[in-house]
Structure 1
């Protein structure tokens, strides 16, 4: 189903300013994380992989370079248009809403990386998204969800920040709004018009995730706490990385 225009991610992720703001994300850290996950999970060389909410495809492309058959899906048409220039016989990209049925499976391993979950206004939609992912897994397949450690993120929330990227000055404000961590992004575009976007990510705790997993028929195998795959510690870990089995 097409995303309603009222959903913040349906417009912000297609904005060139989104990609400008996050241009300097650490590519080497992302590759090292993928390498660590592949060593930890050791999928077979013939495994079919899905990058769920793949953005412009940086992780999917790297996974395909390791020899796997990879599909990347994302809600943003602009991101998928960009990613498709790297497509080949064993690397495919599709526009897709993770709440909808995934017709390209079954997959042996599904990745949902870098807090690409919890965007939906209705909590039940998170379960629907997980059910769709579970249905696309082979029996015995695994799903990896990489999310912020919400407890630590809320405790250390930076309320105001400014950064300038390629001549655009972004003013970032963060606050809690009920169950969501909200980031307001203000800037003036190249036509001199003021712009305001919001990112809203549900402040999901471990216990909420575990309820979701149970409802989606997924078994929690382990929780890792950082990109080096150390065990999760609620007080100190920067991430909650869930490894789930169907």
Structure 2
């Protein structure tokens, strides 16, 4: 059984069960979002892009296919090991903790997508991560943070559901605890062992993000509300997609 006393993402993201649970994610939707985002931001053809918390590199590969020089970084050693099979002259992958300075800079565009932020137990570390991202940008560069619309997510929280994937029954329990949206994941593995993991994302609203951005020296250019890039509506938008400038 994993220890939830350790940083949850350091064990869960390297677990084969994480990839099993989420294997049916809508990657077509993600590619369409990335395509719209590139059209919206129109980075120059020679731009250098950073995918911050890139996972197995699927989105970094798509960005590279659009002709950009792309670097993907992620804390998960297993994800980066997988992604590196696709690396080439203009696509690079590194194991990296966003709380540490990024030695691969400078970049014209940094992307932190699909709620890959707000995982840390100490809130100050979120600002450290943002400052590192800002430091990795060229002057005039842009940072995009794609986060859930926390207010709506809390309002519509599904307390319990069961997902059956490849014969495993994942029991998912969600609740709000000490400023975090917590998802508990429990299941019995193939060896009959009880397994328990957690996902914890800090319940950050737009006002708190604004404070972070100010502390990191970033200017908010616009806030989008969904993967079709419609304007953010606090009541109804599923996402908060911040476009920031250095």
SS at match of 2:196: strand
Q: Distance in 1 between matches of 2:5 and 2:129?
A: 19
Partners of 2:100 and 2:143 in 1: CA distance: 17
What is the count of residue pairs matched by the alignment? 243
Rounded to whole Å, the distance in 1 between the matches of 2:59 and 2:94 is 15
The separation in 2 between residues aligned to 1:15 and 1:127, in whole angstroms, is: 27
Moved over 2 A (4+): none
Q: Tell me if the contact between 1:60 and 1:70 (Cα under 8 Å) persists in the aligned partners.
A: yes
Q: What SS does structure 2 have at the residue aligned with 1:214?
A: helix
Please give the secondary structure, in 1, of the residue aligned with 2:233.
coil
User: 2:233 maps to what in 1?
Assistant: 233
Which residue number corresponds to residue 26 of structure 1? 26
The answer to whether structure 1 residue 175 and structure 2 residue 190 are counterparts is no
Q: After the TM superposition, which residues 91-110 of structure 1 pair with which residues of structure 2 at under 5 Å, given as runs?
A: 91-110=91-110
Q: CA deviation at 1:5?
A: 7.3
Separation in 2 of the partners of 1:244 and 1:34?
16
Q: Distance in 1 between matches of 2:183 and 2:74?
A: 21
* Partner SS, residue 89 of structure 1: coil
Deviation digits for residues 142-185 of structure 1 (CA, Å, limit 9, x no counterpart): 00000000010000000000011111110000000010000000
2:42 corresponds to which residue?
42
Partner of 2:138 in structure 1? Answer: 138
TM-score w.r.t. structure 2 length?
A: 0.98
Alignment of 1:66-77 (within 5 A): 66-77=66-77
Q: Paired residue for 1:221?
A: 221
User: Are 2:243 and 1:209 aligned?
Assistant: no
User: What's the C-alpha RMSD, in Å, of the aligned pairs?
Assistant: 0.9
2:185 corresponds to: 185
Structure 1: segments with no counterpart, 5+ residues: none
Give the deviation of 1:121 after TM superposition. Answer: 0.2
Counterpart contact for 1:99–1:128, Cα < 8 Å: yes
| TM-score normalized by the length of structure 1 | 0.98
- 1:13 Cα deviation from its structure 2 partner: 0.2
* Match of residue 58 from structure 1: 58
Structure-2 residue corresponding to 1:162: 162
